[in-house]
Chains A and B, each alone.
Chain A
Amino acid sequence: MLNDDELLRYSRHLLLEDVGETGQQALKNAKVLIIGMGGLGSPASLYLAAAGVGHIVLNDFDHIEVSNLQRQISYQSDDIGEAKVEVAKRKLQQINPEIKVRSINKAMPEIQLTMELTMADLVLDCTDNMASRQLINKSCVDAKVPLIVGAAIRFEGQLMFFDHSETDSPCYHCLFPGSEEQTLNCSNSGIIGPVVGTIGTLQALEAIKYFVGLPSGIKNKLKLFDGKSLDWQTFTINKDPKCTVCGQH
């Protein structure tokens, strides 16, 4: 049941036929794990906290640096040197005291990630490196937990959603099989804030839709965003029967 404060706080959700009180209650019960609290995790977590996602776990091991502030909108100049997850947790609780936020201020080894996944309904991959992305994918496939992947560099963004509760779902590894691949990241290629912000915001939108029971328009799809033309391209991701991560499942 929603209390009076919640009825008022979420009144604009309650007006929506697709959310309503049932959807808001589903958001309140939802447990999301956000891995990476940079340019993607900042807007994603702010929107999910504001929307009333009841249990949010934030994971990052970084401290805030001045070069983060150009795009990581959860943080301000006073926060430099502090742990990202602690500052972000404080911010989310200020936005919405009705929700529970927990922080994990370390790089999680596989065993801890697996344990966290037993408590998560959904994972947002907001990380900045290929090794973490491969580990998160594998762990979500094994635990059958749905995964929303965002990535961005320069003026480009990528967005995908894999529902690993379905056994025939493809996975991130079907698309990008190499974990040691030299990939482009924000520190070697640069990034425009609103581009990474757009992708993080859409990760939050897809998460909200998932929790209230709306179908995703991007399941098993890769969306490519071009921040210069504002064009989107959509590709279908097919399961690779030979995939070493999801192929035997």
Chain B
Amino acid sequence: MKIHVNEQVLELAENINIEQLLVHLDKPLIGSAVAVNQDIISRSHWADTILNEGDNISLFQAIAGG
């Protein structure tokens, strides 16, 4: 299936969850936030949130500067 990650198209196997996506992309699990179609998914739901064809995924880091 095709999904969009930070506006890049990505071809993935079916039934992949958010945690698996981050591992696949070699992204840190700590300090990352993930939104699926503009909805931020809490970290406690990463493992049970299955991605679907056409989903828009946004990955970004916590920033603390001020």
Interface residues of chain A, those whose CB is within 8 Å of chain B, are 36, 38-41, 125-130, 133, 150-153, 156, 158, 174-178, 181-186, 189, 191, 196, 200, 222, 224, 233-238, 240-243
Contacts and interface: CB of A to CB of B under 8 A. Distances in A.
A184 B64 contact: yes
A234 B38 contact: yes
B50 interface: no
Contacts of B33: 175-176, 222
A78 to B, nearest CB: 24
B64 A129 contact: yes
A238 B42 contact: yes
Given A36-B66, A41-B66, A150-B66, A182 B40 contact: no
B13 interface: no
A200 B38 CA distance: 24
Contact of A235 (B39, B64, B66): B39
A129 B65 CA distance: 6
A243 B45 CA distance: 11
Contact of B31 (A41, A126, A129, A178): A178
Given A151-B66, A152-B66, A175 B61 contact: no
Nearest to A131: B64
Contacts of A234: 38
A233 B30 CA distance: 22
